[in-house]
Copies of this chain bind each other. A is one copy, B any other.
């Protein structure tokens, strides 16, 4: 901790100004300085249901909107994905001044309110809690928001199509420039809570399967993927690079007998692309494992992990999926158990039948991947499948050839809604070849003793991408809290 003693007087002034506050008529602006503990229990907005009717509750929430109307003031009180209507009306507990006070609270301020939960005659369509409202008797402003907001939360959650088409929305840059406000929208709250779930489900499944979580360094001595698209770091008197993937380190862990490892962490790509799916900093979900006899042991582990994620999201995050769907409608994500594994020639045949002209050993273009995704969805009713046995010629040199048909290989891609999410392969485990390859990767004086193991690796599942495709969104910036691209380094 630093010593910035000269600034301590600032704190004291604030302390004093807080102490000078007086409580008046059940409403005031109030500070909080941890001077007392209290037994007061705060309810959550999402728990304000018919069962609570008649109860007096305390609630801390944001003022989403306020609307005065004669002797009444309606407030919408928001907490994360949930909101409830509050009513301040002149009566036994409420004065005219208090209604005026409530009406003048800036939107997005944080308030503590005490009120009685009341049933409403007609469902309140604009709130998540549609059956009750809160008759407020006391209100305290805990924190006042600025009077003018850089964007309106209601605009920020408006669907771009449908009946509200043409009304104000908020563009991506305005959102990102004001990310703290934008992240408060019900849609953002839902996206990032679901994304937290993706990570948790990924790890939960792998830990249950006996995997060990590892941490790999991000600052490395040599560019990991041959030098292109790598960020350079000034490292004391020398230069270093930002890791483009944890590939080499995962592999070293396998050769160091960790057997099955995974990691979740940032990966960096200095690619000057400004598209809906490129970022310069991603979060990678990575697995690496040794297998015993057949690389399909690995394919099964990965597809099973993804299926566990899809099931977990469906079962535990339905509220979040529904919330995002209000602004961005999409078909629910479909998957099969066991996962569909299509062989490459079969995929090519389906494309040819649909009129695509292509060679048997030709790679798939992005439009053809999308088309194949649609064809697979029609035929098998799944948004998730594996395309196995890619032509050897289109895969990296360390890919193991297929033992039965040498023009194909023991390698595969996996797709969600027609977009590739990961690419995997059995690696050749000849020590000499692997060591040569490793030496190319680690040139800076370190002799990498990778002694041959049976490795199947995949590279890599982008967290933002998986979340985007699962929810049927269209820009990876929607699923990165603080996205980085060639033009954006802030917030």
Contacts and interface: CB of A to CB of B under 8 A. Distances in A.
Contacts of A12: 401, 406
A392 interface: yes
A128 B317 CA distance: 45
Contacts of A221: 489-490
Interface stretch (A305-313, A336-344, A376-384, A427-435): A427-435
A449 interface: yes
A212 B233 contact: no
Nearest to A254: B180
A423 interface: yes
A69 interface: no
Contacts of A426: 34
B281 A42 contact: no
A281 B32 contact: no
Contacts of A293: 32, 34, 36-38, 40
A400 B181 contact: no
Query: Chain copies in the assembly?
Result: 2
Interface in A182-205: 182-184, 188-189, 192-193, 195-196, 199-200, 203
Contact of A179 (B33, B252, B400, B404): B252
Given A232-B234, A266-B218, A395-B1, A180 B8 contact: no
B192 A449 contact: no
Interface stretch (A88-96, A143-151, A154-162, A352-360): A143-151
A220 B489 contact: yes
Interface string A412-435: 010000000001001011110100
Contacts of A217: 266, 281, 482, 484
A378 B480 CA distance: 49
A396 B3 CA distance: 6
Contact of A11 (B1, B212, B401): B401
Contacts of A179: 252, 256
A163 to B, nearest CB: 28
A396 B145 contact: no
A444 to B, nearest CB: 6
A24 interface: no
A399 B11 contact: yes
Contact of A1 (B10, B292, B396): B396
7 contacts: A12-B406, A183-B256, A192-B214, A195-B215, A217-B482, A219-B242, A235-B489
